[in-house]
A and B are shown apart, each in its own frame.
Chain A
Amino acid sequence: MEFLNDILIKPFADMAAAPDFLLQVLWEGLVGGVLYALIALGFVLIYKSSRIFNFAQGIMVVFAALTLVGLYEKGVPALLALPLTLAVMLVLAMTIERVVLRPLVNQPDIILFMATIGITLFLIGFGELIFGGENKVMITEQLFIPTGSIVFEPFGGFVSIEEKDLTAVIGAMVLVAALLVFLNKSKIGRAIRALGDDHQAALSVGISLSTIWVIVWFIAGVIALATGIVWGARAGVSFALEVIAFKALPVLMLGGLESVMGAIIGGLAIGILEKLFEIYWGQPLLGGNTEAWFAYMLALLVLLFRPQGLFGEKIIERV
């Protein structure tokens, strides 16, 4: 009976007893969710246009953030380092397309997936060689990202919102909105979607596969840079950032690999739900650290009923 009380009643009683704390939990969940969604978006874009599961997305986050900080450390002003980093990501996208993807056109998906593992290993070694393995400080203030905190006092308690988290949420929303407009309204965006729907058909109407791949990998690079700035501002820039890519996997399972909307909603849902579960059920009943597995459990549950994810495309093949 006490067990049922701990599961069904006490958590909700705790939420009601300290609503300010609940608000803080929800806010932290939302921030986490936005960050997960950002990482997942990088995966989705590349998968959507080329059917490649890009294992290198995590290391691209590290590489972009390290390039930005590295350039600044070499004396380049922050506001110049930002476009220069974007230029580096463009060169990276072009190189990947020319050296890795183009020779592998028409190869099975698994070969392309393995190639992205190769890209990951190369970027780890290359990044280490140029930037070293030390933890670096993200140039938050130099990029005019506010670093203070806003404190509210609702229900007699307090809720603290970090300005850089708020900037991250707003920045991510703007980025996602721009991306959606680009994908749905622009000519190139439509070409990307066309390629995602049917490679052969897209090629037959004159869409250039190599150009689109460069653009898509570049956009994934831009998202990686945004993710790197936001995560780097929280705990420094180092190769440890690579680990956060694993947080995107359950988001992709939940939202579906092909859906931009799925990545956003999946990311937000996982961010908020895993935080609520950890605080009100995980820590008191299971000793904590449930965030390591909760998202996967949730995704598995969804997959049981919707194997294509919440927003994925249902693939029906004639055999």
Chain B
Amino acid sequence: MKRMLRNAILSSALLAAASVAVPAAAQDEAIYIPNLAYRTGPFAATGTPLMNGQRDYITLLNERDGGLNGVKLEYDECETGYNTEKGVECYEKTKARAVVTQPWSTGITLQVLPKSNVDKIPILAPGYGFSPMADGKVFQWAYNPPSSYWDGASMILKNISDGNLDSLKDKKIAFLHLDHPFGKEPLPLLEVLAEKHGFNLVPIPVGLTEMQNQSAQWLQIRRERPDFVVMWGWGAMNAGAITEAVKTKYPMDQFVGVWWSGHDGDLKLVGDQGKGYRSISWSVPNSEAPLMADIKKYVVDAGKSQINQGEGEFDSVFYQRGLMISVILVEGIKAAQEEFDVRNPSPEQLRWGLENINLDEARLKELGAEGMLVPFSTSCADHTGHGGGWMLQWDGAKFVKASDLLTPDRAEIEKLEAEKAKEYAEANAPWPVNEECSM
């Protein structure tokens, strides 16, 4: 009897201790950051350095600072192979603990976009996804800072026309793009601008199985003789296009790509022959920055990075852009921690955080990343920030900054964003909008 009583008391005490310990443990639990990554498949060559960058910034914070405000960050990858169906599976698999979704493909983004209203998990798609996501009132759970694809297309046109789009009148611009939601994304804006400014837009799609043999597309370019070729390429398509451009002897200084078409690895294939090729970019690599010194010390030299040092990945545009993507996310988490005075913010609190990012020049300098990312800030109405971008140019061995900060023609884009956001909300009715946002 005595023994039974003792056991009962002991069990009760253990239970009580456990019930007290649970909230404390939950509070100390790491912030779970899943990434729908692709290190395999046809897009692995471009995906891998980006994922390495994202991962290494989180590792740096955990190693150098013990996490973020004392809480560890748990970075976790779910492999999608850039496949939309697998991406949706990964979303479903990780959403229970996720504080954010990083879908990593415009196709996957479009699939999880309607789910975000139900699951109430913010989608962070830096520099990709559906451009009208900039309209925070309609897309209250989706973010695509610091520049959208439409911003990118606008900046490219501004740059090639020296700031005067009317000078493009009667000129021919070939739009070489992946035949995929990502590649088609800027088309609505380009069509509007072509009509308004009188240039002739020639869309040239490249199928997934044709990425490495684009001879038909480049024969068309030879026949059409466009004044400029604008490329929205990804993965193996970039390397395929650049080698064909060299083969066709298309002038490289008239060939411009989006930020995902500016990968060192693709240009290294042609080396000197690719000299003059440009790519708009909202990030610039700077291996001398204090942040990079810390990455080297705490992550790379400590053997905690997966980068391929022999291939110069550390200095590459994509690796350092991957770092910047995590910088953006962490700034959002930090804003949420401070606003709500919590260590481990909920997805709903992170939504506020992502709406209140202020990565100005001073903050970037504080982070040791001055000049590596365009300065921008978000709000409940503006989920992109529209920080703009710089033109990077291939000098035969590496990409170098070749312009001052460019900004998109927002007046034109805003109209289209509002129109397409409204169209999307109507097509997916009932679509909840953020009525609390008064901006």
Taking Cβ atoms with an 8 Å cutoff, the residues of A that contact B are 18, 21, 24-25, 28, 31-32, 35, 73, 124-125, 128, 132-135, 137, 149, 160, 162, 231, 234-236, 238-244, 246-247, 275, 278-279, 282-283, 287-289, 291-292
CA distance A289 to B220 in the complex (A): 11
User: B39 and A231: CB pair below 8 A?
Assistant: no
CA distance A287 to B247 in the complex (A): 24
Interface residues on B, range: 35 or more
User: A234 and B212: CB pair below 8 A?
Assistant: yes
- Interface segment out of the listed B45-53, B54-62, B347-355, B365-373: B45-53
28 A-B contact pairs sorted by A residue (CB < 8 Å): A24-B222, A128-B44, A133-B47, A135-B239, A137-B268, A231-B212, A234-B212, A236-B45, A236-B236, A236-B239, A236-B269, A238-B45, A239-B41, A240-B43, A242-B42, A243-B208, A275-B219, A278-B216, A283-B204, A287-B203, A287-B205, A288-B204, A288-B205, A288-B216, A288-B220, A289-B207, A291-B209, A292-B207
CA distance A236 to B222 in the complex (A): 23
Min distance, Cβ B246 to any Cβ of chain A, angstroms: 10
CA distance A246 to B422 in the complex (A): 39
B290 contacts the other chain (CB 8 A): no
Our pick among B213, B240, B249, B268 for the contact of A32 (Cβ within 8 Å) is B213
- Beyond A235-B269, A289-B210, whether A240 also contacts B42 by CB under 8 A is yes
B287 contacts the other chain (CB 8 A): no
- Beyond A132-B48, A135-B266, A137-B268, whether A292 also contacts B209 by CB under 8 A is yes
Min distance, Cβ B84 to any Cβ of chain A, angstroms: 16
- Beyond A246-B209, A292-B209, whether A279 also contacts B220 by CB under 8 A is yes
User: B236 and A235: CB pair below 8 A?
Assistant: yes
User: A28 and B216: CB pair below 8 A?
Assistant: yes
Closest to A21 in B: B223
CA distance A291 to B179 in the complex (A): 12
Beyond contacts A31-B215, A235-B212: 10 other A-B pairs, Cβ-Cβ < 8 A, are A18-B223, A21-B222, A160-B249, A236-B236, A238-B236, A241-B212, A279-B219, A283-B204, A288-B203, A291-B209
User: B247 and A162: CB pair below 8 A?
Assistant: yes
CA distance A287 to B216 in the complex (A): 13
CA distance A181 to B339 in the complex (A): 77
B301 contacts the other chain (CB 8 A): no
Residues of A within 8 A of B209 (CB): 243-244, 246-247, 291-292
B229 contacts the other chain (CB 8 A): no
User: A240 and B213: CB pair below 8 A?
Assistant: no
Min distance, Cβ B114 to any Cβ of chain A, angstroms: 28
Our pick among A124, A231, A291 for the contact of B210 (Cβ within 8 Å) is A291
Min distance, Cβ B317 to any Cβ of chain A, angstroms: 14
CA distance A35 to B213 in the complex (A): 10
User: B269 and A133: CB pair below 8 A?
Assistant: no
Our pick among A32, A134, A137, A149 for the contact of B48 (Cβ within 8 Å) is A134
User: B211 and A134: CB pair below 8 A?
Assistant: no
User: B216 and A240: CB pair below 8 A?
Assistant: no
User: B44 and A238: CB pair below 8 A?
Assistant: yes
Residues of B within 8 A of A135 (CB): 45-46, 236, 239, 265-266, 269
B83 contacts the other chain (CB 8 A): no
Our count of residue pairs bridging A and B at CB distance below 8 angstroms stands at: 139
CA distance A89 to B216 in the complex (A): 33
Our pick among B203, B219, B240 for the contact of A234 (Cβ within 8 Å) is B240
B310 contacts the other chain (CB 8 A): yes
User: B42 and A134: CB pair below 8 A?
Assistant: no
Our pick among A24, A35, A133, A278 for the contact of B45 (Cβ within 8 Å) is A133
Residues of B within 8 A of A32 (CB): 213, 215
Closest to B268 in A: A137
CA distance A106 to B48 in the complex (A): 42
B403 contacts the other chain (CB 8 A): no
CA distance A289 to B178 in the complex (A): 10
The interface centre, meaning the residue of A135, A149, A234, A275 with most chain B CB atoms within 10 A of its CB, is: A135
User: B243 and A235: CB pair below 8 A?
Assistant: yes
Taking Cβ atoms with an 8 Å cutoff, the residues of B that contact A are 39-49, 179, 203-213, 215-217, 219-220, 222-223, 235-236, 239-240, 243, 247-249, 265-266, 268-269, 308, 310-311, 313
Our pick among B49, B220, B266 for the contact of A236 (Cβ within 8 Å) is B266
The interface centre, meaning the residue of A231, A278, A287, A288 with most chain B CB atoms within 10 A of its CB, is: A288
- Beyond A32-B213, A235-B236, whether A291 also contacts B207 by CB under 8 A is yes
User: B308 and A134: CB pair below 8 A?
Assistant: yes
Closest to B38 in A: A133
Residues of A within 8 A of B248 (CB): 160
Residues of A within 8 A of B211 (CB): 235, 240, 243
CA distance A18 to B219 in the complex (A): 13
CA distance A189 to B438 in the complex (A): 79
Min distance, Cβ A144 to any Cβ of chain B, angstroms: 19
User: A24 and B310: CB pair below 8 A?
Assistant: no
Residues of A within 8 A of B210 (CB): 289, 291-292
Min distance, Cβ B187 to any Cβ of chain A, angstroms: 11
CA distance A82 to B41 in the complex (A): 25
User: B49 and A134: CB pair below 8 A?
Assistant: yes
Min distance, Cβ B261 to any Cβ of chain A, angstroms: 13
CA distance A244 to B209 in the complex (A): 6
Min distance, Cβ A90 to any Cβ of chain B, angstroms: 26
Residues of A within 8 A of B216 (CB): 28, 275, 278-279, 282-283, 288, 291
User: A132 and B308: CB pair below 8 A?
Assistant: yes
User: A134 and B311: CB pair below 8 A?
Assistant: yes
- Beyond A135-B265, A137-B268, whether A149 also contacts B240 by CB under 8 A is no
Closest to A73 in B: B310
CA distance A155 to B266 in the complex (A): 36
CA distance A134 to B209 in the complex (A): 19
Min distance, Cβ B248 to any Cβ of chain A, angstroms: 8
CA distance A89 to B171 in the complex (A): 52
Min distance, Cβ A309 to any Cβ of chain B, angstroms: 20
Residues of B within 8 A of A236 (CB): 45, 236, 239, 243, 265-266, 269
CA distance A120 to B226 in the complex (A): 41
CA distance A18 to B223 in the complex (A): 10
User: A275 and B47: CB pair below 8 A?
Assistant: no
User: A149 and B247: CB pair below 8 A?
Assistant: yes
Residues of B within 8 A of A283 (CB): 204, 216, 220
CA distance A124 to B38 in the complex (A): 13
Closest to A247 in B: B209
Closest to B265 in A: A135
CA distance A243 to B48 in the complex (A): 18
Residues of B within 8 A of A25 (CB): 219
CA distance A124 to B208 in the complex (A): 19
Residues of B within 8 A of A35 (CB): 213
- Beyond A21-B223, A24-B219, A73-B310, whether A239 also contacts B205 by CB under 8 A is no
